[in-house]
């Protein structure tokens, strides 16, 4: 009995190990495929060099973003500029001084949002501001590595608003040979993980809403 029992246990153990290896291999291949697809979404250049819209929306997180937003506003590419995710205590004059920008040129046309602490928060804060002003289109300004996730979240929150992406290109983010640059690789993988998590969360939220609806109507 003992001689027959041990080989049987080893066979079952090897079977489970083989299944686990195959499963992990498939998951890894799918994850890498998704990562390569995500990399193709990161813009390497500005496709629309002459955008025009109702408003410009800048997501805080880098000085180049605000600089680009102010340039677009000064060139009258939109009526208003909304800066989302501003730290409490900052005001328009202070931000313009940091950018060494003349406040009298654009002071009347800039609004600040203080509520957002995440990209989803940026989207929710922005859509409230858009509804308040009756706008139908925006130019979205953020870093190129942040643009795929930002576009996905903004389009989910405001599907009827036209969104024109206008990326900026941080000098520390080097897309070419990204795998050999730890800082760039870390940013890409972090953004990719967040990009894949968002739709899953929406699915669970929809499932929870539907289950709650059926529970309440019983």
The 10s digit of each residue's pLDDT in 6-53 is 665 656 667 778 888 888 999 999 999 999 999 999 999 998 888 999
Rounded Cα gap, residues 142 and 55, in angstroms: 14
Instruction: For residue 90, give Cα distances in angstroms to 73, 109, 117, 125.
Output: 20, 16, 15, 17
First to last CA, the chain: 57
The 10s digit of each residue's pLDDT in 76-118 is 999 999 999 998 877 777 777 767 666 667 778 899 999 999 9
What is this structure's pTM? Answer: 0.82
Output the pLDDT for position 95: 75
- Sorted by where each begins, the domain ranges of the chain are 55-168
**pLDDT above 60: residue 176:** yes
CATH topology assigned to domain 55-168: Rossmann fold (3.40.50)
Rounded Cα gap, residues 131 and 145, in angstroms: 28
Output the pLDDT for position 83: 94
**Cβ neighbours, 10 Å, residue 149:** 22
Q: What is the DSSP string of the chain?
A: -HHHHHHHHHHHHHHHHHHHHHHHHHHHHHHHHHHHHHHHHS-SS-S-SS---SEEEEESS-HHHHHHHHHHHHTTSSSEEEEESPPTT--HHHHHHHTT--HHHHGGGEEEE---SSHHHHHHHHHHHHHHHT--EEEEEEEGGGHHHHHHHHHHH-TTSEEEEEEE--TT---TTGGG-HHHHHHHHHHHHHHHHHHHHHHHHHHHHHHHHHHHH-
């Amino acid at each position: 009995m003992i001689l027959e029992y041990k080989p049987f246990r080893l066979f079952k153990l090897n079977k489970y190990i083989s299944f686990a290896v195959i499963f992990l291999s498939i998951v890894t291949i799918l994850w890498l495929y998704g990562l390569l697809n995500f990399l193709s979404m990161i813009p390497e250049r500005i496709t629309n060099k002459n955008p025009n819209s109702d408003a410009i929306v800048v997501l805080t997180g880098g000085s180049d973003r605000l600089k680009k937003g102010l340039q677009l506003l000064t060139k009258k590419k939109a009526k208003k500029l909304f800066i989302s995710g501003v730290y409490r205590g900052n005001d328009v004059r202070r931000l313009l001084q940091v950018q060494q920008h003349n406040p009298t040129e654009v002071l009347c046309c800039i609004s600040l949002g203080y509520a957002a602490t995440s990209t989803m928060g940026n989207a929710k804060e922005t859509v409230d501001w858009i509804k308040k002003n009756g706008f139908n289109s925006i130019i979205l300004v953020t870093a190129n590595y942040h643009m795929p996730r930002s576009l996905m979240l903004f389009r989910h929150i405001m599907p009827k608003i036209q969104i024109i992406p206008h990326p900026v290109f941080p000098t520390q983010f080097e897309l070419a040979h990204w795998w050999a640059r730890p800082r760039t690789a870390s940013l890409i993988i972090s953004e990719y993980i967040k990009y894949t998590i968002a739709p899953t969360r929406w699915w669970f939220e929809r499932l929870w809403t539907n289950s709650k609806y059926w529970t309440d109507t019983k």
